[in-house]
Structure 1
């Protein structure tokens, strides 16, 4: 009876681990959902209802009052706004080369609008997979050491990574891979004033909220 109980317990552990690493989990991480949303189409029509945004597909889906679901690509959308009851977010499509700096081909893609102005700070999110296999470890450190490799399987965690961009007056999207260096290149003659503002307010280029303040101030002094 004891052996049977151990066998059942072992099976349950294996099933739980397989569920954790199932592909369906990646789909949930890759999708953002809100209870309230409003989509403004390029045709001028407006649709409201619970909304889901699929990052990888770059598709927005809205559930209408009759229960039907309509999906739209960036080319069909002027903007969409979502709310969780506390915070609102606005997304707009911009022409983008998908990060290929050596290509002239651009297509519309959704970006979250973080501020409005001559220069706009915008954001996309991507899913990154971090490998949790850091080599054999003993049970005392949280992982059982199997010298024969029978328990060898892939462990990973999927995380959302924020990527920031600047939408310029000439309708270009500039990737802020190194925000301090990239923005200082854009500040040009206003660089001294911007450095004084950033220092006085103790702002950090690697902080999203601070980046909004930095870009907003640059808009103000460059008018």
Structure 2
């Protein structure tokens, strides 16, 4: 009975920690050794850049030591490579989306074997600018923002990343401090807070509208209603998750392929 009571109390303590955790978005800065930037006016820039995700700006050092800051309104799209490794990321984060961006999916005749991508800091990442309501579904105001392209189109899977600092209460015998309920990413191991990376997925329509996939499986199946059963079966057969970026990209590519076949 004593053991059972201890286990129950410990579980309640952990649930209390999880339910009362607070999250706050903080600045996320990423540095890349190389980039190709297509400006809205048609010009092209190349060179090392710093990407401020929270501000949707690129900063590029000039030969004279000055810094050129480019906002999303001035950029059509850009590709970057040579990312500085972030210890808060798991190795799977560095998957290469080259195949997915080119429309491949498991079962595609041109993509006959499932393979695991090795961690690759030199992989090319592609970003596009879309006008977005910043998550305010009740507002008609949209401003330019950067989205990473993960799949091919015509409906394209997009991603935005953010850095979240979570605060966990330390009170109670089974709280954060007592049992070392620490940061799962290994950074910020001090009582009361930890930092984690957060991915938000979106779907771009052929007309350029951005649809938030807050619940990726539910929302994606809602968009592809006519193909929902086939998508669920495809994901199950290939053991694909709707919450893993690279796997979701292949699901979106498969969905697009079904729509194209039905349109013939």
* C-alpha spacing 1:82/1:50, structure 2 compared with 1 (3 Å): same
* C-alpha spacing 1:140/1:111, structure 2 compared with 1 (3 Å): closer
Shift of 1:187: 1.3
The TM-score, its normalising length taken from structure 2, stands at: 0.65
**Contact 2:169 2:192 survives alignment (8 Å):** yes
* 2:76 aligned residue (74, 78, 81): 78
* 1:211 aligned residue (230, 236, 248): 248
2:159 paired with 1:117: no
DSSP-derived class of the 1:165 partner: strand
DSSP-derived class of the 1:222 partner: helix
**Contact 2:170 2:192 survives alignment (8 Å):** no
* C-alpha spacing 1:214/1:33, structure 2 compared with 1 (3 Å): same
Which shows bigger deviation, 157-166 or 96-105? Answer: 157-166
5+ residue gaps, structure 1, are: 1-25, 144-152
Shift of 1:140: 7.6
Task: Work out which of the two has the higher radius of gyration on C-alpha atoms and give 1 or 2.
Answer: 1
Q: Deviations over 1:130-183 (max 9, x none)?
A: 11442266998569xxxxxxxxx9842232211010001232111111111101
2:236 paired with 1:199: yes
Aligned residues: 187
2:52 paired with 1:54: yes
* C-alpha spacing 1:140/1:196, structure 2 compared with 1 (3 Å): closer
Corresponding residue number in structure 2 for 1:220: 257
| Rounded Cα–Cα distance in structure 1 between residues aligned with 2:239 and 2:178 | 43
The TM-score, its normalising length taken from structure 1, stands at: 0.76
Q: Deviations over 1:108-149 (max 9, x none)?
A: 111011112110000111221111442266998569xxxxxx
**Greater relative CO (CA pairs within 8 A, separation 6+):** 2
